[in-house]
């Protein structure tokens, strides 16, 4: 729930989510469906890792030359007749949007799905000048009625089941709607049709911006983005500055990766490439088109070898669907606009001040499922560790943990000290162990012991036993198998020849 934002830490917010059986069941159901869909679609397509690598290379190249491609895009979009604005900050992007709305004397804005407008809290800001923003993506519409924020990058209402949705829509309809998907979608379709026709401004996000033609490309399944970008007289498109790709040839790769990774679809239902406002010969489209390109912390990643690849993200949500932590706590527990593994890294990275980061980078077991799922191979599991390190190195780490880790380094820096500490541990566990296990619920074991028993230290460690084992084995040791010896020597020599490459 958006109310979760009032809880101070990810741990507190996670606790609320963990106690919400409806939420957990809904999130588990949909993430599993999406994850299986992606698995099937990528296997069916074949050579998935090669496609991922190709996607990664396109993104790496574009971001490395972002200044060039941004200029090219802006020049071409302007030549197409669009107004292009650059906004350094969220506040600036809001200001530009509000100025356009005011100039157009707009009363209503219809919006297609856009995470960057969530980042700007644009609906709220439009409200302050008396402009009503209406979300037209079904999931976003539901979330807006509930007064919440999206809990998933592509499935905003993933945390709600159809009964909860039926309640929300019934309240809006003023009559009882059956919790049947076609009834509910039918109601929304009818309701939104009027809104499209009335709206003064259509507002969209942008999946990809094509530098060579100045086009923006939208991927959607409901047709609402087509309505938003054809019916109102004015269109405002907001995009993060990293949405660029060089050409339509590159779009082919992205159109292969994005829908399969996001929902397991081979193709998105509607893919629109929009190059400027309506021309005389066009049947429809806006008379005026604005494109607002937003930095808001993105350029901080440029030139940072540990985080630049964050800008490669194509916002497919596959890392959320693969993440076992996300599955249990949902998106709101992350406390920011972007949730899941990408949100856990992106949210802190977009801010400059490390002291402001809360502990979301700790909400990961570093299992790497996000990296494996990512269509452009962003090493999110490594980035989470780099974030933790930066927080420690900037002096914002936890004081107690810091002292403990210093002790860890001291003890583990010497096998003699380690043996000493173990001997003390073995004595100490005598006080708390029963039948070879520990069920103690204090100190660091408090939460651990709520779910598990802990094994005791062995009476004799391996290193203590080693002398005995070695003596026993020395007696009957056979000769090393000559074939194996040959293999091992070949591997050793190959390693020396290569000058060091990983195996496996």
Partner 1 sequence: MKVSLFITCLSDVIYPRVGEAMVRLLAKYGIRLDFPSVQTCCGQPAFNSGYWQAARDSAATILDAFEDSDFVISPSGSCTGMIHHYPKLFEQDPEQHKRACALRDKSYEFTQFLVQVLGVTDVGATFPHKVTYHPSCHGSRLLGVKEEPLALMRQVKGMELVPLPFAEDCCGFGGTFAVKMGDISGAMVTEKADHVLESEAEVLVGLDMACLMNIAGNLRFRGEPVRVMHLAELLYEGATRS
Scan residues 406-425 and list those touching partner 1 (CB under 8 A). Answer: 406, 408-415, 418, 422
Q: Which of residues 78-107 bind partner 1 (CB under 8 A)?
A: none
One of 60, 64, 115, 392 touching partner 1 (CB under 8 A): 392
Q: Rg of the chain over CA atoms, in angstroms? A: 27
Q: Is 280 in the site for partner 1 (CB under 8 A)?
A: no
Tell the smallest beta-carbon distance from residue 448 to partner 1 (Å).
Answer: 6
Minimum CB distance to partner 1 smaller for 190 or for 396: 396
Please tell me whether residue 266 binds partner 1 under the rule CB under 8 A: no
State yes or no: residue 369 binds partner 1 (CB under 8 A): yes
Helix (H, G, I), strand (E, B) or coil at 158: coil
Nearer to partner 1, 208 or 357 (CB): 357
Is residue 367 close enough to count as binding partner 1 by CB under 8 A?
Answer: yes
- The DSSP result for 262-302, as a single string, is HHS-SS-SEEEEE-SS--TT-SS--SEEEEEEE-TTGGGGT
Helix (H) or strand (E) holding 84: strand 83-87
Segment lying near partner 1 (by CB under 8 A), choices 47-55, 75-83, 252-260, 383-391 = 383-391
Cα–Cα separations (whole angstroms), residue 257 to 47, 226, 264, 331, 345 = 12, 22, 10, 23, 22
Q: Please state, in angstroms and rounded to a whole number, the distance separating the CA atoms of residues 178 and 221.
A: 23
Phi and psi, residue 417, nearest 5°: -65, -40
Encoded one letter per residue, x for contact with partner 1 by CB under 8 A and - for no contact, window 296-335 reads ----------------------------xx--xx------
Among 405, 420, 428, 434, binds partner 1 (CB under 8 A): 405
Considering beta carbons, is residue 7 or 392 the nearer one to partner 1? 392
The answer to the question of residue 356 lying near partner 1 (CB under 8 A) is no
User: Which of 5, 7, 11, 95 contacts partner 1 by CB under 8 A?
Assistant: 11
Considering only 1, 4, 14, 298, the residue that binds partner 1 (CB under 8 A) is 14
**Interaction of residue 279 with partner 1, rule CB under 8 A:** no
Contact between residue 212 and residue 265 where contact means Cβ atoms under 8 Å apart: no
Binding partner 1 (rule: CB under 8 A), the pick from 188, 363, 378, 383 is 363
Tell which one of 401, 420, 428, 434 touches partner 1 (CB under 8 A).
401
Distance CA 123, CA 100 (A): 14
C-alpha to C-alpha distances, 478 to 91, 473, 481, 482, 486, nearest whole angstrom? 75, 10, 8, 11, 16
| Residue 7 sits in the site that holds partner 1 (CB under 8 A) | no
For the bound state, the minimum distance from the C-beta of residue 27 to partner 1, rounded and expressed in Å, comes to 12
Annotate 375-398 with DSSP letters as a single string. TT---HHHHHHHHHHHHHHTT-S-
116 binds partner 1 (CB under 8 A): no
Q: Show contacts with partner 1 in window 27-46 (CB under 8 A).
A: none
Specify the residue, 173 or 366, whose C-beta has the smaller distance to partner 1.
Answer: 366
Q: Give 445's Cβ-side CA count (13 Å radius).
A: 13
451 binds partner 1 (CB under 8 A): yes
Give least dist CB 387 to partner 1, A. Answer: 8
Region from 77-85, 111-119, 124-132, 387-395 binding partner 1, contact rule CB under 8 A: 387-395
Cβ-in-10-Å burial (0-12, 13-18, 19+) of 34 comes to buried
User: Interaction with partner 1 in 457-486: which residues (CB under 8 A)?
Assistant: 457-458, 460-463, 465-466, 469-470, 473-474, 477-481, 483-485
CB of 278 to partner 1, least distance (A): 49
H-run or E-run covering 239: strand 234-240
Q: Does residue 292 bind partner 1 (CB under 8 A)?
A: no
503 belongs to the binding site for partner 1 (CB under 8 A): yes
Shortest separation between residue 322's beta carbon and partner 1, angstroms: 9
* Contact residue for partner 1 among 7, 18, 302, 440 (CB under 8 A): 18
The widest CA-to-CA distance across the chain, in whole angstroms, is 94
Report d(CA 117, CA 144) in Å as an integer: 13
Residue 295 in contact with residue 88, Cβ under 8 Å? Answer: yes
- In the complex, least distance from residue 28 CB atom to partner 1, rounded to whole angstroms: 9
3-state secondary structure of 215: strand
Residues 408-414: contacts with CB under 8 Å, at least 24 apart: none
Interface residue with partner 1, options 72, 364, 377, 378 (CB under 8 A): 364
Cα(422)–Cα(322) distance, rounded to whole angstroms? 38
Write the binding mask 180 to 209 for partner 1: x where contact by CB under 8 A, - elsewhere. Answer: ------------------------------
DSSP string, 7-71: SSSHHHHHHHHHT-HHHHHHHHHHHHHHHHHHHHHHHHH--HHHHHHHHHHHHHHHHHTHHHHHH
Size of the site for partner 1 (CB under 8 A): 87
Quick one: which of 98, 271, 300, 385 contacts partner 1 (CB under 8 A)?
385
Residue from 366, 432, 433, 440 binding partner 1 (CB under 8 A): 366
What DSSP designation does 206 have?
-
């Amino acid at each position: 729930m958006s109310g979760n934002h009032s809880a101070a830490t990810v741990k507190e917010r996670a606790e609320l989510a963990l106690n919400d059986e409806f939420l957990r069941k809904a999130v588990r159901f949909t993430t599993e469906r999406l994850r299986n869909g992606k698995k099937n679609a990528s296997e069916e397509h074949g050579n998935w890792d090669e496609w991922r690598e190709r996607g990664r290379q396109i993104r790496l190249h574009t971001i490395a030359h972002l200044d060039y491609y941004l200029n090219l895009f802006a020049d071409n979009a302007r030549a197409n007749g669009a107004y292009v604005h650059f906004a350094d900050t969220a506040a600036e992007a809001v200001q530009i949007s509000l100025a356009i709305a005011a100039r157009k004397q707009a009363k209503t804005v219809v919006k297609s799905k856009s995470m960057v407008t969530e980042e700007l809290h644009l609906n709220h800001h439009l409200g302050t000048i008396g402009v009503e923003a209406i979300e037209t993506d079904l999931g976003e519409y539901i979330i807006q009625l509930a007064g919440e924020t999206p809990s998933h990058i592509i499935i905003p209402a993933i945390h709600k089941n159809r009964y909860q949705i039926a309640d929300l829509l019934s309240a809006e309809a003023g009559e009882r709607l059956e919790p049947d998907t076609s009834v509910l979608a039918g109601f929304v379709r009818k309701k939104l049709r009027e809104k499209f026709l009335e709206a003064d401004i259509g507002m969209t996000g942008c999946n990809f911006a094509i530098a060579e033609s100045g086009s923006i490309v939208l991927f959607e399944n409901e047709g609402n983005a087509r309505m938003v970008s054809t019916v109102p007289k004015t269109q405002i498109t907001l995009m993060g500055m990293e949405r660029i790709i060089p050409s339509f040839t590159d779009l082919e790769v992205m159109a292969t990766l994005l829908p399969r990774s996001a929902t397991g679809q081979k193709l998105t239902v509607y893919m629109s490439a929009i190059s400027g406002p309506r021309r005389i010969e066009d049947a429809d489209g806006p008379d005026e088109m604005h494109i607002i390109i937003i930095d808001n912390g993105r350029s901080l990643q440029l030139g940072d070898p540990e985080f630049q690849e964050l800008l490669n993200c194509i916002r497919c949500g596959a890392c959320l669907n693969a993440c076992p932590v996300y599955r249990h706590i949902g998106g709101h527990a992350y406390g920011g606009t972007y949730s899941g593994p990408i949100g856990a890294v992106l949210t802190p990275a977009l801010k400059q001040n490390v002291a402001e980061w809360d502990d979301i980078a700790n909400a990961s077991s570093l299992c790497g499922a996000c990296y494996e799922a990512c269509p452009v191979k962003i090493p999110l599991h490594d980035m989470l560790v780099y974030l933790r390190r930066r927080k420690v190195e900037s002096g914002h780490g936890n004081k107690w943990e810091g002292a403990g880790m210093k002790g860890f380094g001291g003890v583990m820096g010497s096998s003699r000290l380690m043996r000493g500490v173990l001997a003390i541990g073995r004595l100490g566990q005598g006080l708390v162990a029963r039948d070879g296990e520990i069920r103690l619920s204090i100190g660091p074991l408090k939460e651990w012991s709520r779910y598990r028993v802990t094994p005791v230290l062995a009476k004799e460690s391996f290193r203590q036993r080693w002398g005995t084992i070695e003596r026993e084995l020395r007696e009957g040791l056979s000769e090393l198998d000559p074939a194996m010896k040959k293999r091992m020597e070949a591997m050793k020599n190959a390693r020396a020849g290569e000058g060091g490459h990983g195996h496996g």
